[in-house]
Structure 1
Amino acid sequence: MRRPHMNDHRRLGRELGLFDTDPLIGAGLPYWLPDGATVRHTLEEYIRDVERRAGYRHVYSPVLGKRELYEISGHWAHYRDDMFPPMELGGEQVVLRPSLCPHHAVIYRSRARSYRELPLRLAELGGMYRSELSGVLGGLTRVRAIQLNDAHVFCTLDQVAEEAAAALELIRRAYRALGITPVRYRLSLPGPGAKYVAAPGKWRRSTALLTDVLDGSGLPYEAVEGEAAFYGPKIDVQVADGAGRESTLSTVQVDFHQPERFELHYIGADGDRHRPVMVHRSIIGSVERAVAHLIEEHGGAFPPWLAPFQLVALPVSEAELPGAQALLRECARLGLRAEIAGPERGSLGARIRAARLVPYQAVIGAREATAGQVALRLRDGRRLEPRPAADVLSRVSGPVQGNSTELWAVDS
């Protein structure tokens, strides 16, 4: 059994009211509590915005597909042991999808495509399902129902390197905003056996492309056999938990296999049909694993923009409650998540300790209420002299709106 460490997300996630599980729902199927749902929603919206700005178009696709879909993609032959068994439906067999790529391939081929449309970048935050054994399930890191930040770029051969490099840069940018430090970059290659598609030429081409991308990035990396996807090699971005256990969070993959299997094509400048290449990429991988890592990386003290509550108003007594309520209304107008921790929750000191993970604590005493001010305490221990509430909220909004990991470089 996995041994807990100090910032183990399974313990912290429950203590902080982020997620939980119930035997009636089942193993590997956690549910999200309001604060955890806020973190998840904020993370998902951040990723969607990053993708939109990078030229991705978002789609939705069903979590079910006919067995034949996965026979064509190769998942049924190479990945069946990790899939849930088929369900009989109207004389057909349907399967909970283990991956989103077959659906995106079908979306691509839903109409004729021209080289002028390429690269076509399709993204989705979609559900997928893995039939994980009970012994490996735990918290949010190994689950059976997964929300995946997935995307597939359909492009020409000479666009592959640029698209893969751009995807890698998106991952690095997101890590800076999230405060994530990868432990290493891995070029994941095939190993021996029937686990992988038998197409030596395609493997050589795709491996050469990803090798060039890594070499061009200047990042140190190591090549590891036996870690590729069944259809192609990957760049895997590895992270580690507090106990040193390593896992893959983000990935970039080159796939010549599925475009051929699904008979994808585009009309080139020469008027002939050509085969596109699929670049698979995921900025944060599964939302579940990403949040698990963020809990452990930050000990529950999320970056200000990601925190469940960004500010807590602390009226010293009941008399200052109207001032705290006015502050909350202004927070809502500015898009800041805030709550009031009033005297009914205990002494001011006890409330400050209870809110230790909230980035900003706004203390409102009699003097501050009269002057329309707050005395701001930052999560890192800094205390500021009372200043106008509007000025405080304006400055707090900066790191929140800018997706910064910094609290606020204040002038004193």
Structure 2
Amino acid sequence: MSLDHRVLGRELELFATTPVVGAGLPLWLPDGAIIRTELEKLAAEEAAGSGCRGVYTPVLAKKELYERSGHWSKFSEDMFPEMKIGGESFLLRPANCPHHAQIFAARGRSYRELPFRVRERGSMFRSELSGVLGGLSRVRQINLDDAHVFCSPAQVQAEVMVALDAIERCYSILGISDREYRLSIRGAEGQYLRSDNQWADAEDQLRRALAERSITYVEAKGEAAFYGPKIDVQVLDAHGREETLSTVLLDFNQPERFELEYTVEDGSKARPIMIHRGLLGSMERMTALLIERFEGRAPPWLAPNQVSVLPICDEHVAAAEELRCRLADRGVRVVVASGGSLGRRIREARTHRDPSIAVIGDSEMRDAAVNVLLPAWDQKSGVDAGVFVDQVVSDISSRSLTPSGY
């Protein structure tokens, strides 16, 4: 069995690419869109739980925005060409943070409003060369779970701990246990924004946050961005390649460039620190990683189709439809597959990687029961229909990694 997400994505009809749309611009098919929607829902719940408020911002802006943010001077080769509209130049955004900086700057801010937290599932664009594009792992439009926190220097450690807690919860839900935390700090040489004392304090706050949460990490000296230190979470994909999924990054640069400020208690002005926080990273990269890790067999809450109900013959279709309605009424994604041999339909449900297969025949109709097949466990058992419905709903609502046995 291939572990390549491109092969599995094609077999399971999760996403597709076409020459007329272009390389690096995948089309999310209905089943793949379900997986992405569920991941976005998880990210949104975690963001809301940690005090982030949702925003929407445009996918393009005037060139001036990216000149001020520094993206044009640093990353213009990786950006799409500027578009001339009415005598003005516009660009597809390479990052969401300049827009969020403008949300903070929309009016005067007080220290009482800090930390000021916003989040967006925002699209951004990279002009990647065709030769490096592949499936969902390297794309030209990136849909990022992106949050930004504007806070005082004294609030940095607490905000980083909030982010670390959310990352740990998400990884536990997704079953990603083999992860490495990397703290990227300044090197001996290089030009870094702000003073040595400010850098030392920021790095110490990141260290203290990691220590407070008893997280083992490695220090990467010289790997910090010029505008601030960061924590990255590294995960190996199914081929042993290292991927950066989650990031907590301190940014001194954009508050300086956009002259962001807030009013302190004594009436003076101060510059906030901007924290970039990505819990799941891009939807594309996370989905590719999970497809390969689960070998296409998604957990019940992520599975495009969560239950297949198979009536043995036509006489059992009405009972199968009744079970489908009971499941659908409680939010379960379920289909009834009838017609043709039972063996063929079971094979199709297995090939589709459905977590639960419920077979209904004469005895099941008589006893108000179902014969449940759990392909992940290669388990088969009879169970009361009501118990089955309750257990399926429980597995989904708790985001269980595997369907429960009976």
Paired residue for 1:391?
A: 387
Q: Which residue of 1 aligns with 2:210?
A: 214
Unaligned runs of 5+ in 1: none
Q: 1:97 aligns with which of 93, 96, 110?
A: 93
Distance (Å, rounded) in 1 between the aligned partners of 2:112 and 2:402: 42
Cα separation, partners in 2 of 1:229 and 1:32, compared to 1, 3 Å: farther
Within the candidate set 296, 317, 337, 1:300 is matched to 296
1:275 Cα deviation (Å)? 1.3
Q: Indicate which of 339, 342, 359 corresponds to 2:338.
A: 342
**Which moves more between the two structures, 278-287 or 263-272?**
263-272
142-151 or 273-282, which deviates more: 273-282
Q: 2:194·2:252 contact (CA, 8 Å) conserved in 1? A: no
Which residue of 1 is the match for residue 107 of structure 2?
111
SS at match of 2:149: strand
Counterpart of 2:362 (choices 357, 363, 366) is 366
Cα deviations by residue, 1:378-401 (Å, 9 ceiling, x for unpaired): 2312222231x2221111111201
Aligned to 2:347: 353
- Deviations 1:138-188 (CA, angstroms, capped at 9, x unpaired): 110110001000000111111111101110110110011111234311123
Q: Please, which moves more after superposition, 198-207 or 250-259?
A: 198-207
Could you tell me which runs of 5 or more consecutive residues in structure 2 were left unpaired when the two chains were aligned.
none
On the 8 A contact 1:210/1:254 being kept in 2, the answer is: no
State how far apart, in whole Å, the 2-side matches of 1:185 and 1:205 are.
Answer: 20
In the superposition, the TM-score normalised over structure 1's length comes to 0.93
> 2:157 maps to which residue?
161
Q: Is the 8 A contact 2:193 2:228 kept in 1?
A: no
Amino acid corresponding to residue 75 of structure 1 in structure 2:
H
CA, structure 1 residues 147+226, in 2 after alignment: closer, same or farther (shift >3 Å)?
Answer: farther
Give, in whole Å, the separation in 1 of the partners of 2:141 and 2:358: 39
Counting matched residue pairs gives 402
Partner of 2:238: 242
TM-score (norm 2): 0.94
The equivalent residue for 1:121 is 117
1:42 to 28, 38, 41: 38
Distance apart, 1:31 and its partner CA: 0.5
2:379 corresponds to 1:382: yes
**The residue matched to 1:334 in structure 2 has which SS?**
coil
Aligned to 2:270: 274
Corresponding residue SS for 2:158:
helix
Q: Distance in 2 between matches of 1:45 and 1:391?
A: 27
Could you tell me which residue of structure 1 aligns to residue 219 of structure 2?
Answer: 223
Offset of residue 193 of structure 1: 8.7
Note if contact 1:312-1:362 (Cα within 8 Å) is conserved in structure 2.
yes
Cα gap change, 1:89 to 1:228, in 2 (>3 Å): farther
- 2:81 is matched with 85
1:177-222 Cα offsets, whole Å, 9 max, x none, are: 111234311123456998x755453544433322222233322222
Q: 1:6 to 1:286 in 2, by over 3 A?
A: same
Distance, in Å, in 2 between the alignment partners of 1:229 and 1:369 is: 65
Structure 2 counterpart SS, 1:94: strand
Give me the whole-angstrom Cα distance separating, in 2, the residues matched to 1:119 and 1:182.
31
Decide which moves more: 307-316 or 270-279.
270-279
From 55, 67, 89, the equivalent of 1:71 is 67
Q: Is 1:19 paired with 2:18?
A: no
**Change in 2 beyond 3 A, CA 1:291/1:331:** same
